[in-house]
Amino acid sequence: MPASRKRSVTLTESGLDRFQTRARELVAMEELENASVKAEFARYCEGKGDSLSESTITQILNRERVDRSSIQRLFNAFEIPLKQSDYAMVVQNSPDSSRNNIPFTGTSSFVGREKTLDALHALLSETVSQVQPVALSGMGGIGKTELAIQYARRYASAYSAGVCWIFARRLDSGNNASIPSQIITFAQIDLGLQIPSDLLTTNDRLAYCWRHWPQGEVLLVFDDVDNYSDIFPHCLPRDIRFKVVLTIRLNLQAPVRNFPINVLEREDSLKLLALIVKDGRTDHERITNDLCEFLGDLPLAIELSGHYLAVDTSLSIAAFFQDLRKREGDRTVPSHEAFDGDAQENPAWVITARRGLEAAFNLSWERLNQSTQLIAKLIGRLDPGPIGWDMVEVMRAFLAEEYPQDGPYSPDEMTRAKNTLLRFNLLKPFDANSYRLHPLTREFFRSKTTDEEYKSYGGEKGKSK
């Protein structure tokens, strides 16, 4: 029987522009605090009598598939007359619609990678005689994870048997799910696979999943791999209908096919900055070009700088650039492993990229109040992977109990801290209930506190709960 089909819509570029224009108007009218924080949009909708979740708003503004009524409700709350040109109809196969666990996109604007996405899909579509992973390789901050997210979302329909996202970095503790456990959980929850109860070992359960995976092509994404031996060979299937993508710093040997990711072209760096800073300040071409050169055309550094400028609307590009230059000697992440491979191949460029990224981190850090800095230090010490905000709330409870006189740990203060970190692009949504840190952001937060200070904040007790 053919799959049933249901109609959904996506927000068009013009619809997104109209919404963002209205959000900026509400900021100017002091009805909104910020024009880019999804949680604030959700609170605004609730205040207008329409409870629209943060995750739904994120899906709408990321131009993902949603019901038309969701866009209608968002526009109604913001008093925007919905036009037919604001959305586009799409057709979706309902049985496959939930067969993925792809994270939310971590960027407000995705530019300069269209040909890269097409080339990646072409490579994954080649006929092969064995499973041959494709490794998206490059230094930290260059956009490997975001490229994988964008690819998985754009080409999800090509993988009718699902897109499984696995967080692959080796963890600091045993509190998080192992690589095989993540795959097994996906098969059970997202695919509805029933694993026999007499299969007791993880290896047996994983092997059962590979053998009984639904028919069709599958995409497996192993994100932030730090040791390929953690994956090969025991976490890879043998069936060639499984297409495998890794994000990793260094190139690997065959049978892995390396797919190096480069920094943005200058034209795309300028476009990305202009898409984040929408008020025309980036029109001064010479100083903006100098800023992107200082940042090494590194997407993470450009996004940090763009979000900083979006928050401080009175700051000129020239003044911001001057502030960055003052901090270029304040070395914060120069020794991080994310730079290792590129440092060997292009040491001069890596020095430039590090310099700009360090300056952008430090300038953003200075804008955080004391309680937000403390929350950042705490989440920087959590294991890599999705961050459930309930874990941060557990830490908050200990802090409030031990330091009641300080008073920065109320639920409202925690929400303000989270929104501030999101606003400065220091924290990114992972899914509807959790968040993620870029590895370099985590390293930066960790550098701001010693092990002893972390324990004094109640961090170890909070993690043990």
Residue 104 belongs to some domain of the structure: no
Is residue 182, in this structure, part of any structural domain at all? yes
Q: Inform me whether the pLDDT recorded for 341 exceeds 50.
A: no
Q: Where is the domain boundary, 338, 366, 394?
A: 366
Q: Is 320 helix (H, G, I), strand (E, B) or coil?
A: helix
DSSP-assigned states of every residue in 280-318:
SGGG-HHHHHHHHHHTTT-HHHHHHHHHHHHH-TT--HH
Residues of the domain holding 58: 5-94
Residue 191 near residue 258 (C-beta atoms within 8 A)? no
Residue 281 lies in a domain: yes
> Token digits for 331?
């070395």
pLDDT at position 125, please? 93
Residues 256 and 277 both lie in one domain: no
Domain end (from 26, 60, 94): 94
**Same domain, residue pair 28 and 144:** no
The larger pLDDT score, comparing residue 188 to residue 451, is at 188
Contact 241, 81 (CB under 8 A): no
Q: Which two tokens stand for residue 319?
A: 């003044």
Rounded CA separation 45/210 (Å): 44
Q: What is the mean pLDDT of the chain?
A: 80
- Residues 433, 458, single domain; the answer is yes
Residue of 415, 385, 431 lying closest to 59 (CA atoms): 431
Instruction: Find where tokens 């390396």 sit.
Output: 258
pLDDT of residue 353: 62
Judged against a pLDDT cut of 60, whether residue 403 lies above it is answered with: no
Record the pTM. Answer: 0.69
Q: Which of 345, 366, 387 is a domain's end point?
A: 366
| Residue 128 forms part of a structural domain | yes
Split into its structural domains, the chain has a count of 4
> Is residue 227 scored above 90 in pLDDT?
no
**Contacts of residue 64, Cβ cutoff 8 Å, sequence gap at least 6:** 10, 153
Are residues 275 and 250 part of one domain?
no
Question: Do 126 and 245 reside in the same domain of the chain?
Answer: yes
Query: Does some domain include residue 109?
Result: no
pLDDT band at 41 (very low <50, low <70, confident <90, very high): confident
Task: Band the pLDDT of 106: cuts 50, 70, 90.
Answer: low
Q: For residues 130 and 236, state if they share a domain.
A: yes
Instruction: Return the structure tokens found at 47.
Output: 């205040």
Give the strands of the sheet with 434-436, arranged side by side.
387-388, 434-436, 428-429
- Evaluate whether residue 101 is within a structural domain: no
Nearest residue to 342 via CA among 380, 383, 297: 297
With 0-12 CB in 10 A as exposed, 13-18 as middle and 19+ as buried, what is 416? middle
Domain presence at residue 286: yes
Is 431 contained in some domain?
A: yes
* Candidate ranges 83-97, 144-158, 420-434; pick with highest mean pLDDT: 144-158
Q: Examine the domain organization and report whether 250 and 309 are in the same domain.
A: no
In this structure, what are the phi and psi dihedrals at residue 292, rounded to the nearest 5 degrees? -65, -35
User: 305 and 210 in one domain?
Assistant: no
What is the pLDDT averaged over residues 8-23? 82
The model's pLDDT over 181-208, given as tens digits with 9 standing for 90+, comes to: 889 989 988 888 898 888 888 899 999 9
